[in-house]
Amino acid sequence: MTVSLDNSKAVYQGIKDAGIKFITALPETWLVYLLQLADEDPEMCLIEVAKEEEAVGIAAGAYFAGEPNILLMQNHGFLAAINGIVSLAMLYRVPLCMLIAHRGHMGEPYPWHTQGGIVTEPVLRALNIPFDYARDPQKVGKQIREAHTYSLSSLSPVALMLSRDLMED
């Protein structure tokens, strides 16, 4: 099992096609190529945080400044960011477009990811955060555009879950 470079490129192209030039992120294995692509792209501003909740604040700041942006993290980072999502993004109606690596679900060999994998979707539902799964490299670009558009129109957090089918070879 390895991370898919080709599909990471498809995701990155989707991010670019959505007009995103600002990414706030915290690394994770499935995101390594994506982060490398962002890092090497002179047109992209990549901000890496110490903890994912910070990314919610930075993304809100970028939004206030008029900069189309996304967050990139794994689902445990999403779980770590919840108070920021609730008490900043939802409370103030600030859009957030989150691309979340969905670790710890079907096929997961690593025990440490499993509890987060199990609870992520129920937590998204409990928070009423619209979400979708990205599984197909042909479709992920459109899904990113749509997630971003929807976050802006709904003034809400929106999550696109990057699945194992997409991120692994």
Partner 1 sequence: MLRSKAIEAIYPELEDKLVITIMGACAQELYDLGHKENFFYLQHAMGLASSIGLGVALNLPHKKVVVLDGDGSVLMNLGTLTTLARYRPNNLTHIIFDNGSLLSTGGFTSHTTSGITDLAAIAKGAGVPNVAKATTPMEFIEAVADAFEGNELSVIVAKVEAVGPDHFGMDFKLPENAFRFERYIREYVTG
Q: Which stretch binds partner 1 (CB under 8 A): 60-68, 102-110, 113-121, 141-149?
A: 60-68
- 19 scored as a contact of partner 1 (CB under 8 A): no
The closest of 153, 149, 156 to 93, measured between CA atoms, is 156
Report, in Å, the least distance between residue 62 CB and partner 1: 4
**Which residue from 31, 161, 165 is spatially nearest to 106, judged by alpha carbons?**
165
CA dihedral 156, 27, 21, 6 (to 10 degrees): -110
- Contact residue for partner 1 among 83, 115, 153, 154 (CB under 8 A): 83
Does the footprint of partner 1 cover residue 48 (CB under 8 A)?
yes
The yes or no reply on residue 58 touching partner 1 (CB under 8 A) is yes
The only residue of 84, 116, 117, 141 in contact with partner 1, by rule CB under 8 A: 84
> Token pair for residue 116?
């987060």
Identity of the residue, 119 or 155, whose beta carbon is nearer to partner 1 in the bound complex: 155
Please name the residue that has the structure tokens 């199990």.
Answer: 118
Establish if 94 lies at the interface with partner 1 (CB under 8 A).
Answer: yes
- Pair 61, 102: CB distance under 8 Å: no
CA nearest 89: which of 61, 122, 116? 61
Beta strands in the chain (DSSP E): 22-25, 45-48, 69-74, 96-101, 131-134, 157-162
Task: By CB under 8 A, tell whether 39 contacts partner 1.
Answer: no
**125 forms part of the interface with partner 1 (CB under 8 A):** no
67 part of the interface to partner 1, by CB under 8 A: yes
Which of 92, 107, 125, 154 binds partner 1 (CB under 8 A)? It is 92
Residues that bind partner 1 (CB under 8 A): 22, 24, 45, 47-51, 53-67, 83-84, 87-88, 91-94, 155
